[in-house]
Structure 1
C-alpha cells in the first residue's frame, strides 16, 4: 500500500517539476546564459595584466611611432590574453574614423592605450580625444603609452572615474573653439553592461552631436545580451537612432536629431 502511495506521489511530483520546467524554460535558459557570460567576463578580465602589456609595448615599440605602438600591441596579443581591439577591428574602426572625420572624440575604456593611439593617429591637427578609464592604474599606464606614441597632452585628456560619474561633467572639458555641439565619434570599449545606460546618458547630457554622431561599441563575448538590448532600443527609436554598420565584435550606432522642420517637410511630401 505504501509503495503505491509513494509511487503516485513521486509521479505527481515529477509531473509538476516537468510542467514547471516546460513553462519557465526560456527564463531558465536566459539566466544560464547570463550567468555563463558573467563568468566568462570575470575569467577574461582576470587573465589580462595591464602592467605586462604596458611593459612589453613600452620596451619593444619604436618610441614616437604610433603605428609601431599598435603593431607591438598586436604582437603581444599573439601570445598573451589581451584587451586590445586588434588589427581586424582596428581596420574597421579606421574606416569609420575616415568616414566620420571627427574633431571631437570620446573613448570609454582605455585598455592601456591601444584604442586611444589608434584614434589619435587619424585625427586632424585640431582634433581632440577625451578618454575615460575607471581604473587609475590602467589610466596612468595608458597615458604613458599615448605619450610614447608621440602625441602631446594638447591633443588628448585622460579622465579617471566611473563613466556614470564622468559623463555629466564632460561639457567642461570640451573646447569652445571646436564649434558647437557634442562629440562626433564615441568609442565604447569598457563594460558592455553599461553601454546602453551610457549612450542614453550621453544623449540626455546633449553630448552627442545633433547633426550626427557615430557610437562604436566593442563586443568580445558573442553571448553578451547587451547587444540585443541595444538593438531593441534602436528599433524602438527610429527617429534618432539607427544601426549604421555591424561586424563580428563591433556595432556602430548612428545618432541624429530630427528637427521639427525636417519632420514637417517629410509629412508634407
Structure 2
C-alpha cells in the first residue's frame, strides 16, 4: 500500500512522458507512412510512364522516345524534366561537348536519352539511380531509344555510395584533361552540396573545367541558396554560369593543376 501512495506524486510526470512518447511515435509513424506513399506513387508513376513510352514510341528513335514522354506528361504526373528544362539542358550539352557525363537521379530515363543523343561518338554517360525499379525501367528506355551499353552505364545505388566507386568506371588518370566534363544533379536537392563536395574530394571533376547542372524541376528548391552561397564563397574554383527557374549551371575549374610531364 505504501508503494502505491509513494507513486502517486509521480503520476503527472509519467503521464507527461507517456504523452510525449505518443506524440513522437505518432510523428515517426506519420513520416514513415508518408515516405511509403511517396515511394509507392513514384513506383506506380515509373511503371505507367514506362509502359506508355514503351508501347507508343518508335523504337530506335531517341526523339520519338522523348516526344512520347512529353505526351504522357501532358496528362499524367511524371518525373521527367519536360521540354522547357530539356531545351536548356540541350543547349548546355551542345555548348560543352562533354565526353564524360554523370547523371545523379535518372528516374525513368528521359534526361538520359536527351543527353545521350547529343554526346560525341566516344562520349559516355554514367547514370546513378537509388530506386532499383526506376533504374531497371530507365535502362530499358535508354535501350529502346537505340543506345548501346557501350555508351552508358546504370548504377543502382545512392549518390553517396556511388561517387567513391566512379573512378574505376571513368578510367581517370589524374591528368588535367581527365575527369567528368558534365554532372547533372536531379535527385534529392538536399544532397546537391554534399555530393558536389564528394566529387571534388574524390578528384572526379575535370580540373580544366566541369559544368554542374543543378536541376530542380517543379520541386521547391529550399537548398538552392545554400549551394550557391557556398559556390560564391569559393571564387578560386567555382562560378555561377546561369540561373534559370528550374536549373542552375555552375562551373568548376582547378587552375592550380598542371599537366604531368
State the TM-score bracket (shorter-chain normalisation). 0.7 to 0.9
Q: Is the 8 A contact 1:47 1:81 kept in 2?
A: no
Indicate whether 1:225 and 2:255 are aligned.
no
TM-score (norm 1): 0.78
Deviation per CA, 1:56-82: give whole Å up to 9, x if none.
Answer: 000000000000000011001000111
Q: Is the 8 A contact 1:113 1:145 kept in 2?
A: yes
RMSD: 2.2
Deviation per CA, 1:24-52: give whole Å up to 9, x if none.
Answer: xxxxxxxxxxxxxxxx9998766441000
Indicate whether 1:143 and 2:139 are aligned.
yes
Shift in Å, 1:260: 7.4
Q: Is the 8 A contact 2:205 2:252 kept in 1?
A: yes
The alpha-carbon distance between structure 1 residues 223 and 114, as it changes in their structure 2 partners (threshold 3 A), is: closer
The alpha-carbon distance between structure 1 residues 228 and 66, as it changes in their structure 2 partners (threshold 3 A), is: same
Name stretches of at least 5 consecutive residues in structure 1 with no aligned partner: 1-39, 262-269
Secondary structure of the residue aligned to 1:112 is: coil
Who is 2:201 aligned against?
204
Deviation per CA, 1:114-145: give whole Å up to 9, x if none.
Answer: 01100000001100000000111110000000
Secondary structure of the residue aligned to 2:254 is: coil
Structure 1 residue aligned with 2:55, among 52, 56, 59? 59
Shift in Å, 1:220: 2.9
Indicate whether 1:97 and 2:77 are aligned.
no
Shift in Å, 1:245: 1.1
Name stretches of at least 5 consecutive residues in structure 2 with no aligned partner: 1-33
Shift in Å, 1:225: 1.8
Who is 2:168 aligned against?
172
Indicate whether 1:191 and 2:191 are aligned.
no
Q: Report the Cα distance in structure 1 between the residues aligned to 2:219 and 2:165, rounded to whole angstroms.
A: 33
Structure 2 residue aligned with 1:162, among 158, 166, 173? 158
Structure 1 residue aligned with 2:241, among 230, 240, 244? 244
The alpha-carbon distance between structure 1 residues 45 and 189, as it changes in their structure 2 partners (threshold 3 A), is: farther
Who is 2:84 aligned against?
88
Who is 2:20 aligned against?
none
Query: Quick check: which one's helix share is greater?
Result: 1
Who is 1:133 aligned against?
129
Shift in Å, 1:175: 3.8
